[in-house]
């Protein structure tokens, strides 16, 4: 990447990173839960990504960019909701009982409505919103999600399982 002029550096960046703006916004929007903060996060993350574009090795532009978006969003969340975010999140202690919700068909059939599903995802805690967005909406692999979130694959699996269980519970008891 060295030796590139600023303008060809920009061209490279526009070609390799900017196509992933939709994924970036999707993740930021579900983490921040409002348009304004999500736009701020993506704007800032884009500038930071451009500044550190030298450290991009050219392998997976989407995962590389999403990692920066994710870190920017969590920093913003910690600043905005310090109480909520300071509670240390223990993967084991916070696990709910392993029993499945006793529902049969549940409301998911009725949950075609985009707003209902979006609102349900927003009720989850940030790590779970992240797991659902990256896996079920953006369809990234467990490995990519682990790299982005900076956790082992096992943690990704347990977060996904619990996030989906909670999401089903929320969707089956809409208030």
**Residues interacting with another protein, by CB under 8 A?**
6-7, 9-10, 13-14, 18, 21-22, 24-26, 29-30, 35, 38-44, 46-48, 50-52, 54-55, 71-72, 75-76, 79, 100, 106, 108-109, 111-114, 116-118, 121, 132-133, 135-138, 141-142, 157, 160-161, 164, 167-168, 171
Cβ count near 58 (within 10 Å)? 9
Q: Which long-range contacts (CB under 8 A, 24 or more apart) does 101-109 make?
A: 101/165, 101/168, 101/169, 101/172, 103/168, 103/172, 106/168, 106/171, 106/172, 107/171, 107/172, 107/173, 107/174, 108/168, 108/171, 108/172
Contact 101, 159 (CB under 8 A): no
In angstroms, give the least distance from the CB of 93 to another protein. 19
Question: What dihedral do alpha carbons 50, 51, 54, 59 form, nearest 10°?
Answer: -40
Cβ distance to another protein smaller for residue 44 or 125: 44
Residue 114 or 175: the one with the smaller Cβ distance to another protein is: 114
Q: Which is nearer to another protein, 116 or 151 (CB)?
A: 116
Minimum distance, C-beta of residue 128 to another protein, in the bound complex (Å): 13
Least distance (Å) between residue 90 CB and another protein: 19
Provide, rounded to whole angstroms, the least separation between the CB of residue 54 and another protein.
7
């Amino acid at each position: 990447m060295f030796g590139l002029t600023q303008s060809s550096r920009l061209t490279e960046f526009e070609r390799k990173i900017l196509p992933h703006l939709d994924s970036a916004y999707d993740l930021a929007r579900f983490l921040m839960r409002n348009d304004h903060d999500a736009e701020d996060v993506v704007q800032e993350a884009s500038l930071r990504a451009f500044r550190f574009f030298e450290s991009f090795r050219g392998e997976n532009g989407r995962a590389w960019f999403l990692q920066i978006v994710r870190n920017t969003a969590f920093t913003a969340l910690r600043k905005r909701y310090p109480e909520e975010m300071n509670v240390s999140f223990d993967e084991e202690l916070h696990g709910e009982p392993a029993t499945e919700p006793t529902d049969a068909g549940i409301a998911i059939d009725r949950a075609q409505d985009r707003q209902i599903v979006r609102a349900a995802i927003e009720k989850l805690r940030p790590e779970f919103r992240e797991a659902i967005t990256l896996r079920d909406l953006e369809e990234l692999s467990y490995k990519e999600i682990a790299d982005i979130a900076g956790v082992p694959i096992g943690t990704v699996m347990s977060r996904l399982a619990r996030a989906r269980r909670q999401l089903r519970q929320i969707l089956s008891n809409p208030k």
